[in-house]
Structure 1
């Protein structure tokens, strides 16, 4: 009965996308910004892109950012326990630090992280209005760290009419959450404000089913703000920030421990924008700051503290002299700093210049090509190239779209890898070459979308840690290739259906070993039905394939099957109650060897919208 239930729980998710104003309405008017750094219709983007809206976040009742990401094709989430614990996201098998993470377009990768990546373990999703995920190398437009792709978490934009929402939730092991937000105009100033508080007893990071008894609780607080004002016709300025702090307990690899961790991320930005010539000319001058602090307080060895800081100034201009041609030119300068409580204090910088040419030679066809020049303070200069295209074969809602892309990547070793490298081992920058090709077939009068994509990426000098010699080293060559399958149906006769499947072959080409913590097969499916009175019932199914937990392929982790149920009901037009059961069949499983996952758990909450 269990597997019959699982089998009946199916269908969907994914997307890819770029455009000129004259062609915008021919196939798809969904607008994305992450793939091209400018507002572009999805139908003209040559890369593989997934867009998650606020409605989808609320429908699935997600709490953490990873709960949204793991539903998408090409995405694998690997966490060492519950909320707050170290959590990595692999895009198409790329290392966590090889993907760029943005909040409102500003980099939030941690300069103090071991590899310069972002730890997703303490990021909640409630404050964000939209998530865009670009799969595949995006190094030409976004620079270092975008080898695997780009993940952009976007907050709500103010409109003329004030809107507000709030959410409160309670559930398993005394977990409580409250999250308000509002957006609107205060005179000539547009404002967005939001916050989130999450606290709970949690469960042991070391697997309770292996004998752990001590719970690792957590508390998270976060806030975001944005203000924008039009100074003159076509000229505007905006500024904002994001702050989050998480405190949590954590364990050792093979036992309970009274260890405590602390994470604090602060992000700030300001932009001066101009748009003129009937939208044919746009320009932006921006400043971004990311400041992080991490404390790992071990009960025996004491605290280890790292601080990271990244400052960035960037400018870009886009000009479309005619409908068929547009040019994007940009320049960036970035300074990164790292320090710890053992005396390390180092910095590096990188200056970059990039350009992208977009052509629309015939109706429905978009071609993009670009170059980037990076001058890194420690490793010299590097030029990378990218090209992609999207071709809508016909007009109308059900016209298929063919997409293909090629991109190169470049990532210098992190400050941590360079300056805390015991028994120093010289490191080389990581480089990559990646391509993909796929087709998108809309159906059901535009309410449904099916995608199939083949991808292949080769990486040289990938950096790993050598536990025998206690230092970092360049692996040599790795390769990740596979297939992504996605389907999404939105509001079709009351049904929302989602499906994503990824086959991933990620290996060290020198040894033939599979890359650690990358399952070959990942599958997600969900089905939601809404009735006339507003009652909604939904279910989802997550199937994670088996994987190796180490690069030598000696520690095996079994796959898992997890089912969830959910429901919601609008008590009034502005008030909705909801509830869910996660891990319905109390599946016993691990994602990272010896670390725990949540058993059967239930949550209930209320949402208010104005």
Structure 2
């Protein structure tokens, strides 16, 4: 089952990428690159592995993240359209997304944010979510936290392992995927290709009488290839290429836009190598990576409008990471020490143009980031783990920022309890669009913007409760978090540029409870209570509901049959400064509350043979009309039936 983990500061160490591939039960690779028991690292991490993805029927990233404590997912439209994640009340641009340790936030996005509605999960082995400030490890954009997508790996004990999936169902949905992986001597390989196509449903809320009922189709193709070489134990070279392209139908509110379409493409390539020296005392690694995002949007004339637009966005990021891990000697009560240090360099290049005269926008700009970082960890008296790290980032010589993080976790085995605390700073550099963007003759970006910065801490505990002969009959836990974000970037008083004027106060608590009454039944619940307010006015920030609740269960009544019901509740929240959409199709400039909503999903899978599993996925079974974003309705009731195999 998915566990709510008291872990630290790292999901997948940038400095030691190969170590992060080691599958070690109940461990995670920390900031030092040393596999460490999850109970011994002091921060909040949730891991969603491949089994959970399949058993719960998570087909895309936004769907999988809905159950993570501390997160609110808000999608403005159907599949592939913009989905934002608000982690612990922070803005969506304040969550850094990695793929196998490589940043994949889109540099051509106006805010440098990531679209969580884009990624499908056929080639993803696990999703790791770190909550809390993490710039001391990952640099810019890690104010709210970090999400790392780890792609599938080749099995070490098979020379050839074909695998795949075939499924179809409601809304003319078809899912096809296939791959092959294996290990031959010192080489290992993986290649996969998958496609999801669907007619989807109408994303414009049905309460608008002018809606045309036009469906927003989605077609996503993804190809991944990896080749690894391990000439001797402790030394590894690896190359990865991943390509993804989505073609989407886009809607608007309060009316449909039948000829508005988009094409979103990303490719990622990386080469990395690592070697353990001096009997494993020193590990050094180097990675070269490049990502390119290219988005185009076309809005052709239709029965509602004679306007025509052709928008283009292109963003490229090239990076070099060099990192080292040195194991430290024990002394007195201190054991299992390690220090990590390294240097990172990234170059970003953006070209974009959108809209029509006189409001045509454009960006053509570049920037470089150079960073150095170091971290250390030790264990004292076999029960107290302490970590600390610092990093300095220099962005195009116009701004520098030093971030830090410290944390500790205390094991209390006498009470089956773990107590943890951590604190740190983080920053978010202004995007290239915010610095150099142009809109007609009325708006110019501000090249002198300062980074958004934060300082925060968290404190939490987790306890296993034995009962009925089971050591972990139940688990209860809480995490209290609080942070203040300053120098937030917003429009100036004249609305002709941007400036650092705003701040936010964020606090809340994540409550988790897991119950394991029998070997065939596991239930877990997460309740996040968030208080996110404007630092100047005290008003609640838009799209940050006070309560978000998820309840999941795994039921295996007979061997091979797994049933996973899922319930998600999102409380009401302010929509923001623009607009209450009325049934007349008009809008007014006044805030409104998005109403609360509940979604019910159900997935059942049956292992037909050890190699073949059949499954049935039901989504939004109550056919809720809930709007996660004002005017955009959650997809309607749907069902998918299919089979997956691995030989």
What TM-score, normalized by structure 2, do the two folds share?
0.87
2:598 alignment counterpart: 561
Structure 1 stretch displaced more, 251-260 or 440-449: 440-449
Change (3 A) 1:592 1:215: same
**Contact 2:399–2:450, Cα closer than 8 Å, also in 1:** no
- How far has the Cα of 1:218 moved from its partner? 1.1
Q: Secondary structure, in 3 states, of the residue corresponding to 2:39?
A: helix
2:6 alignment counterpart: 16
Q: Distance in 2 between matches of 1:380 and 1:139?
A: 15
Give the counterpart of 2:143 among 143, 147, 155. 147
- How far has the Cα of 1:239 moved from its partner? 1.2
2:297 alignment counterpart: 296
Q: Secondary structure, in 3 states, of the residue corresponding to 1:56?
A: helix
Q: Which deviations, in whole Å up to 9, do the C-alpha atoms of 1:558-600 show, x marking residues without a partner? A: 0011212222222222211111322222222101101121122
Please give the root-mean-square deviation of Cα atoms over the aligned residues, in Å: 2.3
Q: Distance in 2 between matches of 1:379 and 1:360?
A: 39
**Contact 1:71–1:500, Cα closer than 8 Å, also in 2:** yes
Q: Which deviations, in whole Å up to 9, do the C-alpha atoms of 1:48-99 show, x marking residues without a partner? A: 1111111111110111111111101001101011111111111111111111
Q: Distance in 2 between matches of 1:598 and 1:468?
A: 39
**Contact 2:241–2:267, Cα closer than 8 Å, also in 1:** yes
**Contact 2:8–2:44, Cα closer than 8 Å, also in 1:** no
**Contact 2:3–2:47, Cα closer than 8 Å, also in 1:** no
Q: Secondary structure, in 3 states, of the residue corresponding to 2:471?
A: coil
Change (3 A) 1:222 1:386: same
Structure 1 stretch displaced more, 173-182 or 423-432: 423-432
1:431 aligns with 2:453: yes
2:247 alignment counterpart: 247
Q: Secondary structure, in 3 states, of the residue corresponding to 1:515?
A: coil
Q: Distance in 2 between matches of 1:269 and 1:12?
A: 29
- Structure 2 residues without counterparts, runs of 5 or longer: 10-23, 301-306, 354-360, 579-589
1:4 alignment counterpart: none
Give the counterpart of 1:196 among 156, 177, 194. 194
Q: Distance in 1 between matches of 2:501 and 2:217?
A: 37
Q: Distance in 2 between matches of 1:401 and 1:336?
A: 42
Structure 1 stretch displaced more, 47-56 or 527-536: 527-536
1:6 alignment counterpart: none
1:223 alignment counterpart: 223
- How far has the Cα of 1:551 moved from its partner? 4.8
1:406 alignment counterpart: 423
1:493 aligns with 2:491: no
Q: Which deviations, in whole Å up to 9, do the C-alpha atoms of 1:319-368 show, x marking residues without a partner? A: 11225221111111111110014663210011111111112122121111
- How far has the Cα of 1:196 moved from its partner? 1.9
1:389 alignment counterpart: 408
2:390 alignment counterpart: 371
1:256 alignment counterpart: 256
Change (3 A) 1:558 1:155: same
1:530 alignment counterpart: 556
Please list, as runs of the form range in 1=range in 2, the aligned pairs for 1:103-142 lying within 5 A after superposition: 103-142=99-138
Give the counterpart of 2:432 among 410, 415, 421. 415
- How far has the Cα of 1:29 moved from its partner? 5.0
Q: Which deviations, in whole Å up to 9, do the C-alpha atoms of 1:380-400 show, x marking residues without a partner? A: 2221221011111127xx731
**Contact 1:18–1:390, Cα closer than 8 Å, also in 2:** no
Q: Distance in 2 between matches of 1:446 and 1:279?
A: 35
**Contact 2:32–2:325, Cα closer than 8 Å, also in 1:** no
- How far has the Cα of 1:34 moved from its partner? 6.2
Q: Which deviations, in whole Å up to 9, do the C-alpha atoms of 1:488-527 show, x marking residues without a partner? A: 4579511132211100111111011211111110000012
What TM-score, normalized by structure 1, do the two folds share?
0.92
**Contact 2:136–2:425, Cα closer than 8 Å, also in 1:** yes
Q: Secondary structure, in 3 states, of the residue corresponding to 2:370?
A: strand
> 4+ residue stretches of structure 1 with deviation over 6 A?
none
Please list, as runs of the form range in 1=range in 2, the aligned pairs for 1:467-546 lying within 5 A after superposition: 469=495, 471-488=497-514, 492-546=518-572
Q: Secondary structure, in 3 states, of the residue corresponding to 2:68?
A: coil
**Contact 2:2–2:48, Cα closer than 8 Å, also in 1:** no
Q: Secondary structure, in 3 states, of the residue corresponding to 2:5?
A: coil
Q: Distance in 1 between matches of 2:490 and 2:255?
A: 25
**Contact 2:345–2:368, Cα closer than 8 Å, also in 1:** yes
1:320 aligns with 2:327: yes
Structure 1 stretch displaced more, 223-232 or 288-297: 223-232
**Contact 1:563–1:584, Cα closer than 8 Å, also in 2:** yes
Q: Distance in 2 between matches of 1:123 and 1:594?
A: 23
Q: Distance in 2 between matches of 1:547 and 1:467?
A: 26
Change (3 A) 1:286 1:206: same
Q: Distance in 2 between matches of 1:384 and 1:418?
A: 22
1:460 aligns with 2:467: no
**Contact 1:227–1:239, Cα closer than 8 Å, also in 2:** yes
1:548 aligns with 2:548: no
